[in-house]
Amino acid sequence: MVDLAIVGCGYWGPNLARNFSSLTDCRVTVLCDTDAARLQHMKRLYPAVDVCLSFDEILDRSDVDAVAIATPTRLHYSMALKALDSGRHVLVEKPLTTSVQECESLLEIAEDKNLILMVGHTFLYSPTVRKIREIVQQGDLGELQYVSARRLNLGLFQTDINVAWDLAPHDISIILYILDEMPVGVNCQGKAHVTPGIEDVTNMTLTFGNGAFALIHNSWLDPNKVRQMTFVGRKRMLAYDDIEPFEKIRIYDKRVEVPPHYDSLAEFQFSYHQGDMYSPSVKQTESLSLECQHFIDCIKSGVQPESCGAEGLKVVQVLDAASRSLKSNGARVELSTVRRRIGTASPALSLV
């Protein structure tokens, strides 16, 4: 049995509490938040669980094996660092931290202490996203040409991070997971309309070494909630709509064919192939439930999570590059590969 503390009971913490409490091999022992009224509400929902206002109180307890952190992003690093220092396994909501250096620090201590460090990239546990990865990697779409992602809604406006750091981690983590490759360059443009200095609309472009590229549009200033991605291959096209209740994936047998040769401009014609549309069946299971169980399983087995700290670092590297591009009016930021002190390679950033 893994005894767990959950820190942060605002927007996402209650979802963690609900899912972890439903697991047979996990016991939620304490909930923590700085809002006493919020804690009283959570106590009514989970009367057997202790509540506290101080994070340090959690670290002083003997009945806490792991900590799930669902606080504002600016607190992720300091809380995760303290929890790892105290010998606890840690799940941190996305993004892992606000800088590459902070991510590196957490990875080092987790490795030194042989602890599980996991990031809440929930969509990596989505049966739909896993099905898309299978379709793409089996070559059903043909060579992937580009990916388009739109994650839009009205709010929730943040004060410590911009919309790219808030919403794009989902899209970036999905794209990196499906393409199984890091981008070589990042461009990003955006604008702050509501809070000065905090962009609420951004457009990001990721360029990959194999010639593919991805477009990511994020907004807190849109009248409709949109969660859509399109994967365009040379043979077929795939549309993913996470809001769609049933047919979340639709595959279109559509493509454009360029004639192999022609003698004159008059003979040149594109060939448009218009085939059928079909929607593969995917059994829907709540992604967060799978993520929570995976965290507990990794603690018990010692196996690194699929959304481990290193995967969280990759997303933060892309976000950091996007921030540099934003400050340079959308100039491309190159990600070149260098060795990190821990295991695998990570990109170094350079502005061109």
Which residue type, as a one-letter code, is found at position 129? V
- pLDDT at res. 340: 40
Enclosing domain of residue 111: 2-123+287-307
Contact 101, 217 (CB under 8 A): no
Shared domain check, 202 and 80: no
Shared domain check, 262 and 167: yes
Among 278, 296, 323, residue at a domain's last position: 278
Q: Which H or E run includes 201?
A: strand 201-207
Within a domain: 29: yes
- pLDDT at res. 256: 72
Q: How far is CA 5 from CA 58, 292, 309, 310, in A?
A: 7, 13, 19, 23
Residue 282 CA, distance from chain mean position: 21
- pLDDT at res. 203: 98
Shared domain check, 272 and 140: yes
**CA–CA distance, 83 with 32 (Å, rounded to integer):** 13
* CATH at 20: 3.40.50.720
- pLDDT at res. 269: 61
- pLDDT at res. 14: 98
- Residue 261, token pair as written in the block: 């040769």
Give one word for 329, left, alpha or beta, with left for phi > 0 and alpha for psi -120 to 50: left
**CA–CA distance, 185 with 48 (Å, rounded to integer):** 50
Residue 188, φ and ψ in degrees, nearest 5 = -150, 135
Within a domain: 215: yes
Within a domain: 106: yes
Shared domain check, 67 and 196: no
Shared domain check, 191 and 174: yes
**CA–CA distance, 26 with 95 (Å, rounded to integer):** 24
12 Cβ contact list (under 8 Å, min separation 6): 70, 93, 120
- The low-confidence residues of the chain, meaning pLDDT below 50, are 337-349, 352
